[in-house]
Chains A and B, each alone.
Chain A
Amino acid sequence: MKSFTYERATSPEQAAAIVADRPGAKFLAGGTNLLDLMKLEIETPTHLVDVQDLNLARIDEDTNGGLRIGALVSNTALAADDRVRRDYGVLTRAIVAGASGQLRNKATTAGNLLQRTRCPYFYDTNMPCNKRRPGSGCGALAGYSRQLAVVGSSEQCIATYPGDMAVALRVLDATVETVKAGGKTRSIPIAEFHRLPGDEPQRDNTLEHGELITAVVLPKPIGGRHIYHKVRDRASYAFALVSVAAVIQKDGSGRVAFGGVAHKPWRVEAAEAALHQGSSALTSRVFADARPTEDNKFKIPLAKRTLASVIAQTRA
């Protein structure tokens, strides 16, 4: 871990201003991913701005009839919130399918969105990785890619976004609110928050340097059956091979997003009209442009089957 200086911010605007001012500065919230990566020198901030004292750990009812989740609400608190459990079950389900109790207690809502990939070539600094060291090549493309992306990947990068919470936020059409130095705020639809790797795999999302997430806003509840089905190699405490976040209405219509298959939560709204025809009809559209590797091509039938299981669960 490179040495760094540390300070605690007193307001979101001030935090944003400090980080914007220093190219090597980063925000520190829970730290559960950042410190992991700093120990390996995959992340090498020279200055950490700890945002824990900012008053961003509340969940409030929003004027639009939805919920405004503070950036620092812990994963545990968010999953346990009665309103979330009642109206946004897919979100609770996704959060508790991820990580462990210990990590969920420390990890924050904003930090969860900012998790970096678990690609093993990203994690091993002896290996080429365009995300970690742009221009060094992709070790995973012809390497061990079982966990990696099957769709939306590029010549440069086949990393997956590893999180669960954001997959649920994607079907809920959440919005990410941010503040920049000078106090300028913006709202980023979750669909536009995470990027595809393209030619710049080092950029996971569309935040600017020094832009601080302050909240995640959920629109008003949409009803329906909320299911998050995460398939992994062990029963808990593992990243998804494939996950499905679904909200399915009584008439068989609904919304579906997939985790573990791309550089971002993967949802193709245009394909959702096919949901009432069954999982095969939907997934053949969702994965029409898939370019899997030999190692991970199983994810496409697995995605179809996982969605079929979800549909069966809604009927049960």
Chain B
Amino acid sequence: MERCGEYDLSRRGVLAASAASAAITAVPLPALAADQKRDPKAMPVSFEVNGNSVALSVDPRTTLLDALREHLKLTGTKKGCDHGQCGACTVLVNGARINSCLSLAVQHEGDKVTTIEGLGTPDQLHPMQAAFIKHDGYQCGYCTPGQICSAIAVLAEIEAGIPSHVQADIASQPKPSNMELRERMSGNICRCGAYSNIAEAMAEVAGASA
């Protein structure tokens, strides 16, 4: 097999010298661009979080997720991957669930954001939070706030008739079947593997509200 230093890398392509030669440079930029030497200008942004108005001044690079966690210290929303690959950062914006890691805070001027902290408290649980506890729909707890935000949104999406991949007839009104819940929750990864229990928690809430 091929070894470093003796690359004959491919039938159709070659590696550039910078990567294949003995000495490689990870970052080839010749010099620090002038605009990276300045502190980025902070920008104002105002939105509502869990019913409270907040006004922040943020580095434009700040994601909604980091605005919540680092600026507002609302750490219930989790950072699992920071790249939209896990769903731990799910929050509701104007009622719709999104990955808060793939959204800049400055994109949310005037928006209404609901996080896990806005759904219920340990003393006053949202029915979905209570159902997760009852059905043990979690283990380590890290993906849980995202799962719960998503779970609430999924039931609303079904109610609103948003179609899904597993519907036999996409023109029909979807129902909160086990398969529908599982498909629609698939953007929320749980490595502890609480899926089966989460589906049961959701089914209970869906049944109660049906």
* A adjacent to B, CB under 8 Å: yes
A75 CB, min distance to chain B CBs, angstroms: 11
A6 to B103, CA, bound (A): 13
- The answer to whether B106 and A102 have CB atoms under 8 Å apart is no
- The answer to whether B83 and A97 have CB atoms under 8 Å apart is no
A residues within 8 A CB of B84?
32, 36, 102-103
The closest CB in chain B to the CB of A76 belongs to B162
Q: Report B6-38 residues with CB < 8 Å from chain A CB.
A: 9-16, 18-20, 26-28, 33, 35-36, 38
**Given that A3-B60, A52-B107, A101-B154 are contacting pairs, would A79 and B163 also be in contact in the complex, using a CB cutoff of 8 Å?**
yes
**Given that A36-B84, A50-B107, A155-B12 are contacting pairs, would A97 and B19 also be in contact in the complex, using a CB cutoff of 8 Å?**
no
A142 to B107, CA, bound (A): 41
At the interface, is chain A mostly helix, strand, loop or mixed?
loop
A89 to B165, CA, bound (A): 11
A93 to B165, CA, bound (A): 6
The closest CB in chain A to the CB of B38 belongs to A3
A142 CB, min distance to chain B CBs, angstroms: 4
A-B interface contact total, Cβ < 8 Å: 156
A137 at the interface (CB under 8 A from B): yes
User: Which of A50, A106, A155 has the most CB atoms of chain B within a 10 A radius of its CB?
Assistant: A106
A223 CB, min distance to chain B CBs, angstroms: 14
- The answer to whether A102 and B14 have CB atoms under 8 Å apart is no
- The answer to whether A235 and B186 have CB atoms under 8 Å apart is yes
User: Which A residues form the contact surface with B (CB < 8 A)?
Assistant: 1-6, 28, 30-32, 35-36, 39, 46, 48, 50, 52, 76, 79-80, 82, 85-86, 89, 92-93, 96-97, 99-103, 105-106, 125-128, 130, 133, 135-139, 141-142, 154-156, 235-237, 291
Known A32-B99, A102-B84, A133-B28; 5 more pairs at CB < 8 Å: A4-B61, A5-B41, A36-B84, A105-B96, A156-B13
Q: Lowest 4 A-B CB distances belong to which pairs?
A: A100-B187, A236-B186, A142-B10, A3-B40
